[in-house]
Amino acid sequence: MSPAVAPVRQLDAHCVDELRQAAQKILGEFGTSATSPVLLERVAERAGELGDALREHCRPVDTADGLFVLRGLPLDDEAIGPTPAGWANARDRGAVYDIALLLLATVMGNPLAWEGQQDGRFVHNIVPSPGHETAQTGASSSVLLSPHTEDAFHPGRAHLLMLGCMRNHDNIATTAAGIRKTRLADEDVDLLSRPVLPILPDDAYEVAQRFADQAPPPVPTLYASDEGMTMRFDPAYTPLDGADDDYRAAYHRLSEELARVSVAVSLSPGEVLVVDNDLVVHGRVPFQARYDGTDRWLKRASVRVPGRRTRPPAEAYEHGYGQAALEAHAS
């Protein structure tokens, strides 16, 4: 694993002021960051008024790394209060950052939420949660969160994933590995471009029972889009036993390549990591949660980018296991 070499986009004081004022005004009006249609409408309105400099910082990912870090948002460790013990306790903690993230997400595309996740909120709190230490979800801590595409099981998954850092006293690294940094044999690319195995929903969702007896759709791991190679990868939820030896070997070589090119990004408070979810898989190194209010705390937002053609058209026919994606505004 290499140390962070993430491209940084530094926000200047003017951009920061503009964003902060817009976020505070919306929070003042609504008194909460819980997302309602009218709040999302106001966010879209205000986002439309943000200046060109901030807009430029929110331009698409433009390097093979497939990610960047927005730096410069101020964050007062005391003022944000202790790290909540689980997302359900977080409610409006750090609400102004929820809205700042939503504003940035809206400049980048359409914010995305899930009916079945964190009460349908558009900004999630990622904190270690007692009892979930070894799960393969953002609530875990003591295990390696293995590299994955966010919401890989679903055709409505995010194009961009934003992780905003509230607290990270122990410099716990987020890992990121980009498909365009890997080197794979043509035969492996060919094999992995075939729809062979499904990707099942992760533990953070309650799978709708009516899909329990339907055949899960097999999906390609790699896709050579007009914009370059993209990936849909979540080994923890991919039943590899269902593939033949050749496919499994190619999948294994892809995993090894991703491990080779993986970088460790240790976010500081106020930094926002933006990951292209079609190019990069992300994960997290293990850590020891203390549950004393000082644990790592991230905010997560997801974005759909209208008009992107980085995925196989056949995805549109997948059932998504009955999970409903909610987009802030129809594209």
Could you give the count of Cα atoms lying within 13 Å of 283 in the half-sphere of its Cβ? 26
Applying CB under 5 A, the site for Fe ion has a residue count of 1
Residue 260 in tokens? 């080779």
Among 65, 98, 150, 276, binds Fe ion (CB under 5 A): 150
Backbone dihedral region of 258: left (phi > 0), alpha (psi from -120 to 50 degrees) or beta?
alpha
Which single residue is written with the structure tokens 């080994």? 235
Q: How far is the CB of 282 from Fe ion (least distance, A)?
A: 6
State the Cα torsion 99-101-104-110 to the nearest 10°. -90
233 vs 247, which CB is nearer to Fe ion? 233
Confirm if 154 and 325 have CB atoms less than 8 A apart.
Answer: yes
Nearest distance, CB of residue 284 and Fe ion, angstroms = 8
- Smallest gap from Cβ 1 to Fe ion, in A, equals 17
Least separation in angstroms between CB 150 and Fe ion: 5
Q: Which window, 14-22, 126-134, 149-157, 263-271, contacts Fe ion (CB under 5 A)?
A: 149-157
Q: Which stretch binds Fe ion (CB under 5 A): 22-30, 81-89, 146-154, 313-321?
A: 146-154
Q: Which residue has the tokens 């390097």?
A: 63
C-alpha 56: how far from chain center = 21
Q: Would you say 11 or 166 has its CB closer to Fe ion?
A: 166
Stretch that binds Fe ion, among 69-77, 123-131, 143-151, 208-216 (CB under 5 A): 143-151
| Cβ at position 298, least distance to Fe ion in Å | 10
* Least Å from the CB of residue 190 to Fe ion: 28
CA angle 224, 229, 232 (to 5 degrees): 95
Instruction: Tell me the residue number closest to Fe ion, measured at CB.
Output: 150
Q: For strands 8-10 and 67-71, give the pairing.
A: parallel
Nearer to Fe ion, 39 or 90 (CB): 90
Q: Please, which residues have CB within 8 angstroms of residue 85's CB and are 6 or more apart in sequence?
A: 127, 129, 130, 291
Of 98 and 150, which CB lies nearer to Fe ion in the complex structure?
A: 150
Minimum distance from CB of 18 to Fe ion (Å)? 29
Residue with Cβ nearer Fe ion (15 or 176): 176
Q: Which stretch binds Fe ion (CB under 5 A): 85-93, 128-136, 142-150, 172-180?
A: 142-150
Q: Is 230 helix (H, G, I), strand (E, B) or coil?
A: strand
How far, in Å, CA of 319 to CA of 217, rounded?
Answer: 8
Residues near Fe ion, by CB under 5 A: 150
